[in-house]
């Protein structure tokens, strides 16, 4: 049984975020709704967690005329408003000593979740599980989708190329993430400018090639050694389900072949739980309107089982 260094009691606050504004495909807003409908709360209660869930966040979108692009970035003010509210929810759960569990929704929500975590725990580290690095800047992004950009906004560096107008739109956001406190696992679709950014700031990243070469056990150990060498910092785990192979999690907006197996994904969650340092978890990019019924069921259920492993479910 895991003992949790930073939690007051075995209590988890669930932040449901039906939000799709960081990318163009509708339906990802239904991810959190389906995960709750599937019985996630009851599953966690059965595991001995007290669950605090006050219903899903209600986000009202802006008229397109009120929210023109900034550079290439789409819906920046809407994303800002939503992620500010999410940051406040995460921070308040963490400050009560709860674990914060955020269900997305698209990955731009991490602007909120990671901000909230670092507001409550400035010494935290971030473990980002994804096929993508999501570290485009509003200038480097090809797609203009902010779910491909959150990490660049969060980084605490003094030369990140983010325009004045964008900085003002996100005036609430304090970049608190040091480049040596984030590590990636699962990467396999990284844009050329993102590769430059990773190199420039020396950000540790384990691609699927590393998973092939070393195996997932060693990769998780090396990842934690990089951001949490003494195993004493609080951990925020941001899990984009597209890190998993599309055969495992097909219903997601930007699937990429060659991903983590079912067990590799779960192993990451199990071993992060084992540290006892987990304070905040995101499960992002479940889109229950994509692919067929079986795919949707598989994706929603795998989202729920990743959560359970993060919260201490073991095989034996």
Ligand X SMILES: NC(=[NH2+])NCCC[C@H](N)C(=O)O
Pairwise CA distance, residues 313 & 180, whole Å: 30
DSSP string for 21-62: TTSS-TTGGGHHHHHHHTTHHHHHHHTT-EEE--------PP
Q: What is the closest distance, in whole angstroms, from the C-beta atom of residue 51 to ligand X in the complex?
A: 26
Contacts of 73 (CB under 8 A, 6+ apart): 138, 141, 144, 146, 149, 166
Pairwise CA distance, residues 136 & 151, whole Å: 8
Pairwise CA distance, residues 25 & 179, whole Å: 30
Among residues 201, 219, 200, which one has the least CA distance to residue 210? 219
Contacting ligand X (CB under 6 A), which of 132, 188, 233, 236?
132
CA 11 to chain centre: 20
Phi, psi of 183 (to 5 degrees): -140, 145
Contacting Mn ion (CB under 5 A), which of 131, 166, 260, 272?
131
Query: 136 is in the binding site of which of Mn ion, ligand X, none (Cβ under 5 to 8 A by kind)?
Result: ligand X
The four Cα atoms 74, 78, 82, 84 give a dihedral, to 10 degrees, of 90
Contacting ligand X (CB under 6 A), which of 136, 207, 228, 275?
136
**How many of the chain's residues bind ligand X (CB under 6 A)?**
14
Choose the stretch contacting ligand X; rule: CB under 6 A; options: 13-21, 69-77, 134-142, 201-209. Answer: 134-142
Pairwise CA distance, residues 68 & 97, whole Å: 39
Contact letters for Mn ion, residues 227-246 (x by CB under 5 A): -------------x-x----
Query: 143 is in the binding site of which of Mn ion, ligand X, none (Cβ under 5 to 8 A by kind)?
Result: ligand X
Contact letters for ligand X, residues 173-212 (x by CB under 6 A): ------------------x---------------------
Q: Does 285 bind ligand X (CB under 6 A)?
A: yes
Q: Does 189 bind Mn ion (CB under 5 A)?
A: no
Pairwise CA distance, residues 137 & 163, whole Å: 10
Q: Which residues in the 91-130 window bind ligand X by CB under 6 A? A: 107
CB of 104 or CB of 234, closer to ligand X: 104
CB of 16 or CB of 246, closer to Mn ion: 246
Pairwise CA distance, residues 220 & 217, whole Å: 6
Pairwise CA distance, residues 196 & 205, whole Å: 13
Contacting ligand X (CB under 6 A), which of 30, 67, 91, 240?
240
Q: Which residue has the tokens 């980084």?
A: 155
CB of 7 or CB of 15, closer to Mn ion: 15
Q: Does 130 bind Mn ion (CB under 5 A)?
A: yes
Q: What is the closest distance, in whole angstroms, from the C-beta atom of residue 156 to Mn ion in the complex?
A: 20
Residues that bind Mn ion (CB under 5 A): 107, 130-132, 134, 240, 242
Residues that bind ligand X (CB under 6 A): 107, 132, 134, 136, 141, 143, 145, 147-148, 191, 240, 242, 254, 285
């Amino acid at each position: 049984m895991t003992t949790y260094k930073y939690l007051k009691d075995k209590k988890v606050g669930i932040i449901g975020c039906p939000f799709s504004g960081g990318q163009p495909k509708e339906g990802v807003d239904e991810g959190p709704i389906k995960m709750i409908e599937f019985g996630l709360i009851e599953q966690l209660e059965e595991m001995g967690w007290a669950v605090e869930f006050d219903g899903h966040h209600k986000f009202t979108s802006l008229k397109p005329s009120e929210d023109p692009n900034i550079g290439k970035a789409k819906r920046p003010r809407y994303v800002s408003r939503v992620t500010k509210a999410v940051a406040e929810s995460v921070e308040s759960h963490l400050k009560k000593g709860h674990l914060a569990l955020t269900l997305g929704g698209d990955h731009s929500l991490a602007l909120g979740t990671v901000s909230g975590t670092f507001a409550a725990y400035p010494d935290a580290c971030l473990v980002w599980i994804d096929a993508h690095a999501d570290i485009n800047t509003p200038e480097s992004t090809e797609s203009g989708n902010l779910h491909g950009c959150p990490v660049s906004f969060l980084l605490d560096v003094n030369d990140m190329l983010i325009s004045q107008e964008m900085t003002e739109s996100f005036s609430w956001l304090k970049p608190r993430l040091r480049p040596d406190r984030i590590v990636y696992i699962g990467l396999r679709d990284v844009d050329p400018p993102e590769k430059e950014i990773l190199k420039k700031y020396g950000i540790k990243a384990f691609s699927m090639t590393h998973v092939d070469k070393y195996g997932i056990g060693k990769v998780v150990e090396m990842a934690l050694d990089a951001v949490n060498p003494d195993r004493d910092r609080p951990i925020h785990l941001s899990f984009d389900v597209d890190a998993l192979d599309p055969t495992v999690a097909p219903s997601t907006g930007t699937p990429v072949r060659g991903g983590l197996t079912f067990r590799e994904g779960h192993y990451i969650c199990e071993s992060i739980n084992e540290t006892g340092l987990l304070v905040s978890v995101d499960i992002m990019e479940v889109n229950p309107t994509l692919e067929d019924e079986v795919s949707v069921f598989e994706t929603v259920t795998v989202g729920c089982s990743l959560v359970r492993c993060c919260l201490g479910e073991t095989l034996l």
